[in-house]
Each structure stands twice: as C-alpha cells, then as structure tokens.
Amino acid sequence: MENRPTTWNGVEVPYNVSIDQLASLVRGPIPERWAAFVALAHTPGQTALTILADSAQSSDPHVRRAAVEAIGLHPHGHHLGPLICSLLSDTHDFVARSACEAAARQRVTEAHDAVVRFLEATPEASRIAALHSLRVLWRDEDFDPVLRAYSTASSATIRKEAAWTLRATASESTWPRLFALWREDALPRHRQWACELAAMYGSRDVITDLERLTHDVDGHVRVTAARAIAKIQARAHS
C-alpha cells in the first residue's frame, strides 16, 4: 500500500474513481473490495477517513483488518487514533496485529501500553508486530521486557526482532548492558553492534574489550572495533 501500487491481488487499484464509488466498492465483492481499500488509503480528506472508520467497525474481521491497514497508511490516519487503539483488543489476532502496525505508522502514543502487552501474546506474529512497533512507540521502561524477549524467547524470529529493536532504541542508559551482552555473542552482527555502541557512548574502560574484537574472526567486526577505539581515543583527547 505504501508506494501507491497500481494493482492489488491482481486487481487494478481504482485511484481515479469518485469517493462515492470507493464507498460502494468497499461494501462490494472481493477482490475489488480490497483494491478499493488501497485506493482509500491514498485518498486525502475527511470523507475517506469516515469510510475507513465505518469499515473498521464492520462485523467482518477481514474488512476490519483492511480498514485499519488503510488507516495506518492514510495521510491523516492519526486522527483515528482512538479507533486504532480500540482495535488492538479485537477478538481476531490478525486484526489486532494490523492495528498494532497502524499505531506505529501513525505514531499513536496512547497505544503504547496495549502494544507492550502483545509481548506476552501467544501468537508469535503478534509478539513480532509489537517488537517492531515499539521501535516507534518506545519508552525507556520498554527496555527490560524487550531484553527479556530477546534473552528468553524460544523463537529465533522473536529473538532476532527483539535484537533489532534493542539496537534501534539503544541509548546512553542502555548501551552498557547491550555491549556486555553482544561483545561475545556468536552472531557477528551483534559483535559489530557492540563496537558501534562503544563508539557512540564508550570511554577508555571498554578499549580492552574492543582490542580483543580487533582480532575477531569476522572482518566487519575487526574494522568496526578499530574505528571504535579511534573514536574513543579522539574523544578522550578533545
């Protein structure tokens, strides 16, 4: 949806029809219905939002999902923040996940607490959606639950998503724990991240660890470690 696709599920997206026609199409048969939702996502104005809001309250969960996905992409979808929040508790997991993604896209900060609760959800896809959305809705108190997901989840996919979220939100207060965790990690990418964080926030007390990483088996890690040392030393002399 995001880049104005010309077709959706093999159907031409009806960008050039009237808003009244789009309103009719989203109540019509599939697959034309789904293409109409894509068009509405890219149709500015209150009328399009009203159609999407009405659709998001449909008795059909697939319509609710299509509507909230479109709201997430609409240029004024943030005006429907309360509706997005209400769909986070939808009885169908796939609707709630789409609402989670919409909340992040529209930066609906009031959705934060509900999104965090998804970290304990049973469906793996819901936990992944929450971890991804928290990169936008992040608060300092999210560090521990996301770190717990990274450290204890049985799913490699969840651990990977949690790691990307921790890296994206790393700060002066969280980097020491991440550095200690990642500097000896089996994954070269994580060792490289440890070096990057040290370069951003570290001082001379991490140089010994970085010097070990300049002999890492991975060339990218070695280069990043050497750059981190140089940056820390330059900072110490500035």
Fold of 172-238: Leucine-rich Repeat Variant (1.25.10)
Report pLDDT for 5: 87
What letter represents residue 209's amino acid? D
pLDDT of residue 27: 95
d(CA 6, CA 1): 9
Q: 35 near 13, Cβ under 8 Å? A: yes
Are residues 167 and 149 in contact, defined by beta-carbon separation less than 8 angstroms? no
Structure-token pair, residue 105: 């896209």
Q: Parse the chain into domains and list their residue ranges.
A: 172-238
Helix (H) or strand (E) segment spanning residue 219: helix 219-236
pLDDT at 213: 98
Q: What pLDDT was estimated at residue 134?
A: 98
Mean pLDDT by 10 residues, the chain (238 residues): 79 95 95 96 96 98 98 97 98 97 98 96 93 98 97 95 98 97 96 98 95 97 98 87
